[in-house]
Chains A and B, each alone.
Chain A
Amino acid sequence: MTLAQAQHFVAPPHWTWYILFYFFVAGISGGSYLIATLFRLRGDRADEPAARLGYYVAFVALLPAPILLTLDLGKPLRFWHMMWNTTPGEPGLNFKYWSPMSVGVWALLLFGVFATVSFLESLVRDGKLGRPGGRGLDGVFGRVFITVGAILGLFIAGYTGVLLAVSNQPVWSDTWALGGLFLASGLSGSAAMLVLLQRARPAARASEGTLVRSERLYAVLELALIVIFVVTLIPDGTLGIVFGFPWLLLWLVAFAGLVPGIAGLLTSGLTVRGEPAAAHRQSGSGGTAVAAAERTSVMTSVAMPVLVLLGVLALRAAIIFSIQ
C-alpha cells in the first residue's frame, strides 16, 4: 500500500436488495417526472399524452420506494424515527442538512406529494376521474408546481449517490461522481421506460422520437460520468474493487445499456427514423403520427429500452454490491 492510497478499515453496512431496487425506482420516478414536465412546459399539444404517461410512471415507480426503505430497516416500525426525534427530553423534527439520508427522507416525502398530485391531475385530464376532459392545474400555478416537482425529482434521482459517498466506504467515499452518475443513468432509464410504455398508450407515440433522442443524450452524459467515476478512483487505488470479478459482468451489462443510445447517436445523430414531422404534429393529425410511429420496429421500442433499463439496474448493483 502506498501512502497516496486511501485507507479503509470500515465494515460494510449491508445495504443490499431493498436498497438496490429503491435506488432504481428513485431514478426512474425522478427522471420520469422531469421528462414529463419538460414535455408539458416545452413540448407542443401532441406531447401532452407522453407528459401524462411520465407522471403516471413517476407515481407508480415511487409507490414501492417507502416500502423498500422501511423493510430494509432493522426496526421497520420505527421508520418515523427518521422524521421525529424520540430522544427523551429532546422531542422535535429530525433534519440534518449534512446527512443525505436525513435530507432524502424529507425530499422523498415532499416529492411524494408532488408525484401524487401530478398523478391525480393526469387522471383528471385523461377523464379517468369525474367527467371526461377535466382541467388540471393550469396557468402559472400549475407550471410552478411541476417545475418544483421536477427539481425534487432530479434530487431524488441523484441524492442516492451522494448518500453512498457521504460515508467512509471504499469506492463510494473515494469519488464525487456518484450522485451525477445515478442521476444520468436514472434519466436515460426513464426515457427508455417511457419509450417502452408508450407502446401501450398510442396517443403518446407522437413523442417517441423525442424520447429516443433524449435517451441518446443521457447515455452520453452517463458515459461521461462513468469516465469521471473511474478517473476519481485511480488516486485512491480502489478501482480494482469495483471493477473486479464478478462485478465486471455487471459493468458489461451496464455498458450494454449505453450501446443503444451511443450507437444511435453515432449512426444517426439526433435524427430518429419514422418520426412524424413537426407540421403534422402541430395540426393534430394524430393518425399520421401513429402510422409513422408504428414503423419503428420492436427492436427500437422494446429490446433497446429493456437493455437500457437492465443497464441502469446493473450499474447500481455493481456499485452497491462490489464493496460489501
Chain B
Amino acid sequence: MAEITPGRAYGFFTDTSVCIGCKACEVACKEWNQLPGHEPAFGDGFDNTGGLDAQNWRHVQFIDNVPDQTMGTGQGKAWLMMSDVCKHCKEASCMEVCPTGAIIRTEFDSVYIQPDVCNGCRNCIAACPYDVISQDEQKGVAQKCTLCYDRMQGNMEPACAKACPTDSIQFGPVDELRQAAQQRVTDLQEQGVTEARLYGDDSSIYGGLNAFFLLMDKPEAYNLPNEQNAVLPRRNNAGGYLATLGTAVLGVFGGLIALRRRREPAAEEGDQP
C-alpha cells in the first residue's frame, strides 16, 4: 500500500456485511499490542470477549437475530457480526473531558491516550458514548485502540486490518475509505440488500468517525447511538452551571432570610428567661 504520511487522516472502514466472526482481528491486536487479555470466560453465545475495554481493543459483536418462527428461504438473518473498535471521532467525547491533556489527536488524525501522561481519573470512560475505554488494572491508566500508532509510524497498517481475512476491516486514508464505502453501499443496495447503511461516514455522528462502519441493521442494534443520541458531554455545562448558580442565589437569599427573621418582633415569643 501507499506510504503512510503524517498530516493525513487515516482510519478504518469496517464492512460488517462480510465479517465472518473469526476474531482474527482480536488476536492480531492482542499479539501486536502485547495485551494480556482477561481470564477466559464462556458465555452462552459465540461472544466470549464481552466488550471493548483496556484489554480488548477490537471486539467482534455477535448479535443474535435468529427469529422465533421459521422463516422462508432468504428471509433469515441469523447473525449480525461486527468487529467493533474505537471510532476515533472527529469530535471526541473522551478528549473533550480529559483534564490532563493525555488524550491527543496524532499526526494521523487518530485519538491517542498517552500512557505516561494519563493519571487514571476515568473521566474519559464516563464520557465515551461507545463503551470503548477502560482502565488497565495493572498500569492504572485508561487504554483503548491506538490505531496502531507505533505501526503507522513504521509505515505499517494496523494489525487488525492486516489480519482480517475477508477485508471486513479496511485501513487507509479516510477520504479514500469513504469513497470505497459509498461504492460498497450502492452496490449492496442495487443487489437488493436494502438494510445496508453507513454509520459515521459523514459529519452527522460526532463530526465524522475516522473508524466508520457499514451496518446491516439500525445503529442501536449494534449498541451504537443514532444521530439524535450522538451528543457531546459539554452540552450539559451551561444547564448544569445555571442550575447551580440559581441554587446559589437562592441559598444566599435563604441564609439572609434566616438571619433577618429573628430581628422581627415575632422571634421574641420564645424569650422567657
Instruction: Please list the residues of chain A having a beta carbon within 8 angstroms of any beta carbon in chain B.
Output: 1, 3, 6-15, 34-35, 38-39, 42-43, 47, 72-76, 78-79, 81-82, 85-87, 90, 94, 96, 98-102, 105, 154-155, 158-159, 161-162, 164-169, 172-173, 176-181, 183-184, 187, 209-211, 213-214, 217-218, 221, 225, 228, 270-281, 288, 291-292
Name the residue on B nearest A218 (C-beta): B254
Beyond contacts A155-B244, A221-B247: 6 other A-B pairs, Cβ-Cβ < 8 A, are: A13-B122, A42-B259, A99-B96, A159-B244, A178-B240, A209-B267
- CB of B120 closer than 8 Å to a CB of A: yes
With a cutoff of 8 Å between Cβ atoms, the chain A residues found around residue B121 in the complex are 72-74, 82, 101
With a cutoff of 8 Å between Cβ atoms, the chain B residues found around residue A98 in the complex are 96, 234, 237
In the assembled complex, how far is the CB of residue A6 from the closest CB belonging to chain B, in whole angstroms?
6
Those of B220-273 within 8 Å (CB) of chain A: 220, 223-226, 228-229, 231, 233-234, 236-237, 239-244, 246-248, 250-252, 254-259, 261-263, 266-271, 273
Residues B273 and A288 in contact, CB atoms below 8 Å apart: yes
From A7, A12, A14, give the contact of B225 (CB < 8 A).
A7
CA distance A12 to B228 in the complex (A): 21
Residues A10 and B102 in contact, CB atoms below 8 Å apart: no
- CB of B167 closer than 8 Å to a CB of A: no
Residues A176 and B239 in contact, CB atoms below 8 Å apart: yes
CA distance A274 to B247 in the complex (A): 30
**29 A-B pairs, CB-CB below 8 angstroms?**
A9-B223, A9-B224, A10-B125, A13-B123, A34-B251, A34-B255, A43-B259, A73-B120, A74-B120, A81-B117, A99-B123, A101-B123, A154-B252, A162-B236, A165-B240, A166-B97, A166-B240, A167-B233, A176-B236, A176-B240, A178-B243, A180-B243, A209-B262, A225-B247, A228-B243, A271-B270, A274-B270, A276-B271, A277-B267
- CB of B101 closer than 8 Å to a CB of A: yes
From A166, A187, A273, give the contact of B251 (CB < 8 A).
A187
Residues A173 and B251 in contact, CB atoms below 8 Å apart: no
From B231, B242, B251, B268, give the contact of A218 (CB < 8 A).
B251
Name the residue on A nearest B101 (C-beta): A85
In the assembled complex, how far is the CB of residue A171 from the closest CB belonging to chain B, in whole angstroms?
12
CA distance A216 to B130 in the complex (A): 43
CA distance A218 to B253 in the complex (A): 10
- CB of B186 closer than 8 Å to a CB of A: no
In the assembled complex, how far is the CB of residue A229 from the closest CB belonging to chain B, in whole angstroms?
10
- CB of B193 closer than 8 Å to a CB of A: no
CA distance A279 to B269 in the complex (A): 12
Residues B119 and A74 in contact, CB atoms below 8 Å apart: yes
Residues A14 and B255 in contact, CB atoms below 8 Å apart: no
Residues of B in contact with A, size category: 35 or more
CA distance A275 to B273 in the complex (A): 10
Give the interface segment out of B20-28, B34-42, B133-141, B170-178: B133-141
Residues A10 and B243 in contact, CB atoms below 8 Å apart: no
Name the residue on A nearest B219 (C-beta): A7
- CB of B76 closer than 8 Å to a CB of A: no
Residues A165 and B257 in contact, CB atoms below 8 Å apart: no
- CB of B200 closer than 8 Å to a CB of A: no
With a cutoff of 8 Å between Cβ atoms, the chain B residues found around residue A278 in the complex are 262-263, 267-268
In the complex, the 9 A-B pairs of residues with the closest C-beta atoms, listed nearest first: A74-B120, A176-B239, A74-B140, A179-B244, A162-B240, A180-B247, A78-B119, A277-B271, A217-B254
Residues B257 and A217 in contact, CB atoms below 8 Å apart: yes
In the assembled complex, how far is the CB of residue A235 from the closest CB belonging to chain B, in whole angstroms?
12
Residues B131 and A10 in contact, CB atoms below 8 Å apart: yes
Those of B192-234 within 8 Å (CB) of chain A: 220, 223-226, 228-229, 231, 233-234
From A7, A162, A183, A210, give the contact of B262 (CB < 8 A).
A210
CA distance A148 to B216 in the complex (A): 57
Residues A87 and B104 in contact, CB atoms below 8 Å apart: yes
